[in-house]
Amino acid sequence: MLLDVQSITKVYAGKAKSKITANDNLTFSMKEGEIFGLLGHNGAGKTTLVNQILGLIKPTSGKITLLGKSILDSPEYARQICSVQPQSQLPLGHLTPAQAVSIMGKMRSGNKHEVKKRMNMLFESLDMGEWANTEGIKLSGGIRRLTAFCMAVISPGRLVILDEPTNDVDPIRRRYLWDMIRKLTDDGTSVILVTHNVIEAEKAVDRVAILNKGKFIAQGTPSEVKSSVNNQIRVEINLATDSKDITIPGWSISSHHQGARTIFSVNPDFVPATIEWARAKIQEGKIMDYSLSPTTLEDVYVELTKGKEATAV
Amino acid sequence: MMKVVHDFKYVFQMQLFRGSGHLLFFAIIQVFMSLGIVIGFTYLFDQPDTQSILYLATGAPTFILIITGLVILPQQIGNAKTEGYVDFTRTWPVNRSVILGADSVIWLLITIPGLAIASLFAHLLFQPGYDISWTVIPALLLIALTSIGVGYGFSYLLPSDLSLALSQVIAFGALMFSPLNFPMERLPEWLQAIHTVLPLYSMAEVMRASMAASTFTATTGNYITLIVWCILGYGGAMYLLSKK
């Protein structure tokens, strides 16, 4: 067991003696080489949880152990084991990516020669060699974000925490980045991926937890989390311009419109009927095209958090 | 011990390279500022006597150290806090005192050109009667570290905008209302009383006693005042940095 978080609660003092419970009795654990996705809205308590794992803030109650050792007793130990890519853009100042990454690698007790080799490999894999010697203040947001990523993984320790690593990064380098994250786990390094980009996370993570208002509302592999909610099929149709008045089939479970798009879900049993219905509508000229797909993690996320928002108010 | 040396080396490199452009700029600004005091302030007098010039020539180095630790440094920390950089440094696998130590050395280094050039020019232009004692190195270090330590203390204690405001008050107060460049007796009594507690006057006294040892002396009280402020500043900064 790499990381074991037991019943962590963090309460902050809010305005006028009110109390804010940022984390409410959270329990989870991680194995070596695992990618754990931590999903949640802004303010759901993700960063608070991460900061407690790093020993930067102290839980109000609960226990966190890293490789069997309590981090409450030795917070510096946590910082040796874990490296972090922070969510905010890292102000590199006049540091070039090559300086920032190699100094961080050596600070994290990497062997000089190894650090250099690994840095070149990282820059090449992420296709950012062109900017290796450009000062931070002259770099684009995406390259600065990738530099922060490289700083976190140059001598990665046992656990790497990536907080929104793909923000500002272009689609092509995003793919390289996901490859690199996957590669990290080959050597047994574990990754906590903090994000609200659920679509990307679904493909990358081994297990996932959805955090809402300080509580875990779902936890498991992406397919477990999805099947805990439903196993419906999502149908998306694009309406023809002059057919606003389309009636969706009676067997659909829920539906909503987004401009010319209509999305509804059906039970798997109704897939043949739905396809027949959609083809007929195309022939009538009412819809342009249609697609069917299994429920995504994002659908589940929206449904779960929507319900909680409503009950919480 | 080996780990501290190792950590210090790389923290120092990171901080130095990150700030390289600014730091060079600050060093140059300080050369001009100190020359401004040594040369520019003599224009305030019709016929400045040696005593007045000696006050300026020994006040300028103190002023540089105050501006560095209590004005420029808090502004930089304020920015670093706002940008999230301070939080990032807290995730490094090193003791926080190493970061504080490495930063202090960098701030010390950038004062050197200003200190050296101002003193050299003062000597060549006016021969104000420098009489440099062996205590000058420990005195400079004590003054600089007190200034830097107190600067760290209040910039970690206060919210960024408040510490920026305070640094402006100090810049103005140190130049106009502190006995750095003139004798304490010229100030109203209530301000004298304040200055016996604040570190600025003691900094000036200790500096003068080291740079013009035959003309000025500093009391043990001056040294104690500085040591107390230095410990308060660094201690407070360490406490705030390690707080969870």
Does residue A311 lie in a domain region? Answer: no
Say if residue A239 is in the same domain as residue A213: no
Say if residue A158 is in the same domain as residue A15: yes
Say if residue A11 is in the same domain as residue A139: yes
pLDDT for residue A310 is more than 50? no
Say if residue A244 is in the same domain as residue A288: yes
Say if residue A108 is in the same domain as residue A162: yes
- Residue A62 near chain B (CB below 8 Å): no
CATH number at residue A204: 3.40.50.300
pLDDT in tens, A147-162: 999 999 999 889 999 9
Contacts with A84 from chain B: Cβ below 8 Å = 88, 91
Does residue A133 lie in a domain region? Answer: yes
- Overall domain count for chain A: 2
Quote the minimal CA–CA distance from B50 to chain A in Å: 45
Over chain B, what is the mean pLDDT? 91
Are the Cβ atoms of B93 and A107 closer than 8 angstroms? yes
Are the Cβ atoms of A83 and B20 closer than 8 angstroms? no
- Residue B243 near chain A (CB below 8 Å): no
Q: What is the ipTM of this complex?
A: 0.87
Q: Give me the torsion for CA of A64, A68, A69, A71, rounded to 10°.
A: -20
The domain of A242 spans 232-294
Contacts with A100 from chain B: Cβ below 8 Å = 14, 18
Does residue A312 lie in a domain region? Answer: no
CATH number at residue A249: 3.30.70
Quote the minimal CA–CA distance from A210 to chain B in Å: 25
* pLDDT given at position A312: 40
Say if residue A89 is in the same domain as residue A134: yes
Contacts with A103 from chain B: Cβ below 8 Å = 10, 13-14, 17
* pLDDT given at position A308: 54
pLDDT in tens, A48-87: 999 999 988 899 999 999 998 998 888 788 898 999 999 8
Say if residue A185 is in the same domain as residue A284: no
Say if residue A257 is in the same domain as residue A164: no
Chosen for mutation from B14, B85, B95, B98 (greatest number of chain A CBs closer than 10 Å) is B14
- Residue A11 near chain B (CB below 8 Å): no
pLDDT for residue A177 is more than 60? yes
Domains of chain B by residue range: 2-242
pLDDT for residue A103 is more than 60? yes
Say if residue A150 is in the same domain as residue A236: no
* pLDDT given at position A187: 82
Say if residue A259 is in the same domain as residue A117: no
Does residue A300 lie in a domain region? Answer: no
Considering only the beta carbons, identify the residue of B6, B19, B91 that sits closest to A56.
B91
Say if residue A149 is in the same domain as residue A11: yes
Verdict on whether the full-model pTM lies above 0.80: yes
Chain pair A-B, CB pairs under 8 angstroms: 78
Chosen for mutation from A95, A151, A194 (greatest number of chain B CBs closer than 10 Å) is A95
